[in-house]
Structure 1
Amino acid sequence: MGDSNVTVAVVADTHVPDRVGMLHPNLIPMLSDLHPNLILHGGDVCSPAVLDTLRQVAPVEAVRGNRDWLLVKELPLVRKMVINGIQVTLQHGHGNLFDYLIDKWHYLRQGYRFERYARIVRKSAGTPRVIVFGHTHHAECIWEENVLWFNPGSASLGPDRKGYPSFGVLRFSDTGQVEGEIHTLGKLKWDGQNWTTFG
């Protein structure tokens, strides 16, 4: 991408229609207000229509999540790119089938642990400056050993279905700096038919 500041919106785990019937009503307006140069989707898109809707805001790069059965031929598991001179890896973060099953076992016993997912993601990430992933529904913006680990959280379901849905923003400066932000989408929860107020 170019030589000026670049704003990248990051979404993941939209889960339309497998867990929610439609995108969160605040998502597209909030993304549009950012005027992003690019949107990254960290997987569990679940419907090609979601990507079409996001493309009305900005160009989209997406990867396949563990629930993207309809998109197996269209989306890769990992995308590597350079944004404003900074190497970025995008992946869902579920790993292979063995990783996924072992993680489920650990998750049921111990709950969420960032370090466990980081080990899985690291296997195919290469050596980027920014690693963008999804899968956990837990938003993360963590610098570790000069690498930004960025998970926007789920745009459909908060962590453990309790917190608020969220998305993220990455800002790549023309001086080689990158900053991440997490934005909540508001106090709405999918009730099985509609988005309704909660909390």
Structure 2
Amino acid sequence: MRVGLISDTHGLLRPEALALLRGSAHLIHAGDIVDPAILDRLAELAPLTAVRGNNDHGPWADRLPETARVTLGGVTIYVIHDLQQLDLDPPAAGIDVVVSGHSHKPACLRKEGVLYVNPGSAGRRRFSLPISVGELLLEAGRAEARLIVLDA
């Protein structure tokens, strides 16, 4: 199963990001969406899990959770915008993957058996950081991640 990861769009949904996310069985947006139309566009591609980021404001954003927990392909995924606000112990909570955003820095590491993935920012360029998305590949209850830099 392929799960598309996107974060920090900040009101800009790039065609290159949409193309890479197309074909995913599920999508995760890790916050700082800014424009709710982005969620509508993503939901046209696949079922969507999204959390509120620190730049998401208004009635539409108030309906988004600050964190989400979803199990796909036997893998439990915890989504939060800012990893610094993580208030649980993922291994003790039975979490296999933590997906976050906020820093705009794509990152992937495994710690204490938990895979931590930040797909980076798919929106406007910040400093010299790349424009990127990610994907989780779930098979037999295991998760692997891939970060993809966009030609933007």
Q: TM-score, normalised to structure 1's length?
A: 0.70
1:63: which partner in 2? Answer: 51
The separation in 1 between residues aligned to 2:61 and 2:38, in whole angstroms, is 15
Partner SS for 1:81 = strand
Larger Rg: 1
Kindly indicate whether the alpha-carbon contact (under 8 Å) linking 1:125 and 1:131 is maintained by their aligned counterparts in 2: no
The alpha-carbon deviation at position 164 of structure 1 amounts to 2.1
Relative to its length, the structure with more strand (as a share) is: 2
1:89: which partner in 2? Answer: 78
1:122: which partner in 2? Answer: 86
Partner SS for 1:182 = strand
The alpha-carbon deviation at position 121 of structure 1 amounts to 3.9
2:15: which partner in 1? Answer: 25
The alpha-carbon deviation at position 31 of structure 1 amounts to 1.6
1:110: which partner in 2? Answer: none
Partner SS for 1:79 = strand
1:137: which partner in 2? Answer: 104
Structure 1 letter corresponding to 2:9: T
2:63: which partner in 1? Answer: 74
Kindly indicate whether the alpha-carbon contact (under 8 Å) linking 1:157 and 1:164 is maintained by their aligned counterparts in 2: no
Partner SS for 2:87 = helix
- Give RMSD over aligned pairs: 1.5
Kindly indicate whether the alpha-carbon contact (under 8 Å) linking 2:104 and 2:129 is maintained by their aligned counterparts in 1: no
Kindly indicate whether the alpha-carbon contact (under 8 Å) linking 1:78 and 1:124 is maintained by their aligned counterparts in 2: no
The separation in 1 between residues aligned to 2:35 and 2:147, in whole angstroms, is 24
The separation in 1 between residues aligned to 2:133 and 2:89, in whole angstroms, is 21
- Give the unaligned 5+ runs of structure 1: 1-5, 17-21, 94-116, 189-199
Partner SS for 2:32 = coil
Provide closer, same or farther for how the CA distance between residues 125 and 91 of structure 1 changes in structure 2, counting only shifts above 3 A: farther
2:131: which partner in 1? Answer: 165
Q: Find 2:118's aligned residue among 141, 151, 160.
A: 151
Provide closer, same or farther for how the CA distance between residues 37 and 125 of structure 1 changes in structure 2, counting only shifts above 3 A: farther
Relative to its length, the structure with more helix (as a share) is: 1
Q: TM-score, normalised to structure 2's length?
A: 0.90
After superposition, the C-alpha distances for 1:40-98 in whole angstroms (9 at most, x for unaligned) are: 000001111000111121111100000000233210000011111221100101xxxxx
- Give the unaligned 5+ runs of structure 2: none
Partner SS for 2:15 = coil
After superposition, the C-alpha distances for 1:20-44 in whole angstroms (9 at most, x for unaligned) are: xx32231112222xx1100000000
Provide closer, same or farther for how the CA distance between residues 124 and 43 of structure 1 changes in structure 2, counting only shifts above 3 A: farther
The separation in 2 between residues aligned to 1:130 and 1:162, in whole angstroms, is 27
2:37: which partner in 1? Answer: 49
